[in-house]
Structure 1
Amino acid sequence: MSGLRTFLRDNGLTLVFGLLFLGALVGQALTGHAVAIEEQVEHGFDPITLGQYLTSSEFAVDVAENWQSEYLQFYLYIVATIWLVQRGSPESKPPSEIGRESDEKQLLGAHTKRESPRWAKAGGWRTALFSRSLGLTMLALFLTSWAAQYIAGRSAYNAEQLAAFEDAVSWGEYLVSSDFWNRTLQNWQSEFLAIASMAILSVYLRQRGSPESKPVGAPHAVTEESG
């Protein structure tokens, strides 16, 4: 198998979903631009160009509010599954392994392997940081995208206020506004529902060949077994 084919096979999941992301983002940009043109013409303004729309706060807030909720979902799920379990779900650890687990289980200290990541073998603050790096990165991405939603959302909201000949709102006023929290919570609730649904449905339903599912013939009560 050639090097390129091997690379595509070994990274297929990331590459396919990366392309799907780009396709959906382009589709959102084009359809959002079409909606923006309709609104501009309806109010008697000149149609906005695609470049103007892509650099507008309206487009930025629509993108950021989706990103922040996704990264929040992953962060909470990564951290929550350390301490919370769902008996029978392949998404959960067995109840007997609740917690941060032993060094032996985590391949740390005397249990590291020759191929273990360098920071896993380093000890001290580097191993401590590396052992939390996935959750911390997801948290940072969530906070960054949420801040982007807040900044772009205020700008878009104030543009609407000024167009209606009303006063613009301050940073503090927008932080406690219904617009900001409506944008935020409408995404959060869908992510929380998706996590809960996946956790419980994977106990009783199967998808042959998927690591997100137990083997088809596995008992419902079996936990942390994928097929």
Structure 2
Amino acid sequence: MDVRQFETNLAALGYTGFTVDNDFTARTADAVKRWQTSLGLAQTGTVGVGDVIYSGGTARIGQPGNRLGSAVGENTLTYTSTTRKVVVNASASDAAWAVRGSRVTVKLPDGTPVKGTVESIGRQATAPEGGGEDGSGQPATLPVTVTIADQKAVGELESGPVTVEYVGREVKDVLTVPVSALVALTEGGHGLETAEGRFVAVKTGLFADGNVEVSGPAVREGMKVRIPE
């Protein structure tokens, strides 16, 4: 079966002239020599144990782990899946949003938003050097992997910094004002200053993108408010 697996892949690379079966024949050896020639190797017509590595599907070759002329060690060449994914180092203390199957929005470097899905969450938290959860540095993080179903939406981008957004809580059909419009009332709580200079008390809700949800008997849609300088 090792011979069949090798011959199947050799033929897929375009080196044919033999029958794909369980027998390594002279014709197989001739195809191996042509393959070795294309790689700049000695034309031995044989393949040793460890000379080839099989992947279950298409793979993308990563950066070589050794410099030209240096000794070859482990991780000499890395490869990944051809499916592009996003890895987020999420704060371990604020990773409740990272649930497998959760929907998120990935913003590409050019600002284009694409839909993503949380695929997996790492189990080991990692703290940066000199950091920790004790306030002495950056908090510990967990790796969160996000998949992108529409690979065409990513374009030709192979790598780069992206932003992942998720919805923690959502409310619809509410009134909002800029956060800077809120004023502290002497009797406590928050309020808004109307265009006429009158202050009205409001109840605040969710904050997002510089706006805040407000409600109360004195506020209505379209009402103009002042923003303190």
Determine if the TM-score, normalized by the shorter chain, exceeds 0.5.
no
Larger radius of gyration: 2
Bin for the TM-score computed over the shorter chain: under 0.3
Higher relative contact order (CA 8 A, sep 6+): 1
TM-score w.r.t. length of structure 1: 0.22
